[in-house]
Structure 1
Amino acid sequence: MNFLQGGKRMLDQSYYKKADEIIEEYGRKESSLIPIMQDIQAEYRYLPGELLTYVAKEIGVKEAKAYSVATFYENFSFEPKGKYVIKVCDGTACHVRKSMPVKEALMKELGLSHKKHTTDDMMFTVETVSCLGACGLAPALNVNDVVHPKMSPEKALEMLEELRGEKK
């Protein structure tokens, strides 16, 4: 849980406790940085900047290096993501086969925009990716690392309904 202190967002102590557990699992060494970051992101669906600073200090890595690594790899996010992360492919094959109308249908249905990628209830995040490596299945999208082939706006909205049904 986040809270404000002096107008600045602060993390609940439980975040640091969990980080300590993860650090102990991998050891306090520079080579542990990426696995620690991966586990933190898997736990919270994003990488809180305050926690990255804490981890860097705890394992003896310069804060600038930790941020450099986190920003280099596309999979790390400093923004909280929804329970379902939907990655719409916009590679050549998917784009030509109309992946952007699929994304637009999802964004409209979820009330998202080019500036807002995650729903208020933290259920869905919609992103565009350069390629999913599933060109023969175009247009494709990926939900939490599961590929959905030959999508259309209608099929995408049906998929959303199925995902919404899962949360009950």
Structure 2
Amino acid sequence: MGSYSPDPNFIREQILAECAMLEAPHDPYCALLLQHALRLPFMEIPRIPNAYRFQPEAWMCHANAHKAVRMDRTRRTRAVYGWWNTGAALVFHSVVERDGKMFCITPVVSDDSEAGRRLLFAEDPRIRLESLDEHFHFRIFKKPVPARLTLSRDIDLSVARQMRQKLMAGVDPARIAREPIILT
């Protein structure tokens, strides 16, 4: 498959945004939404970033899925919205479905591991794309869809702390994005 390596400054910004999200205070609405999402049927789907004739971008799943739909002249592709179970959180994610088979076209910074080739995903039929201007606007139960639903607040805080420490120590952002975080 080969690795995808975006600009280090972009990766650093994404890591800092992820840290801020991990450190955000508890939201009761997200706890209720988590209960809903955990009832959905999750399935393992492949990650195939080279399935279409364009280079999808890391961290841009919604744009990648919609670009694939636009580029498919056969009109057999649709964008699918749902939740990617990372083990620590349910992440709002878009994949594509073509000919009845779902797969993810968004590359990870390093796709050399098994985690880079497959993901646990559940389609959420309640998620709706409201508008597509300069940004995507998704809603569920009449509210904006959160980027992630935490499965463990302690894990979130530990991961954010470790990522910030590595950035402050001067570790290459691409390396931070590639390597697993060891929970202590």
Q: Fold-level match, TM-score > 0.5?
A: no
Q: Normalising to structure 1: TM-score of the pair?
A: 0.23
Task: State which structure, 1 or 2, has the greater radius of gyration over its C-alpha atoms.
Answer: 1
TM-score by length of 2: 0.21
Higher relative CO (Cα under 8 Å, sequence separation at least 6) belongs to 2
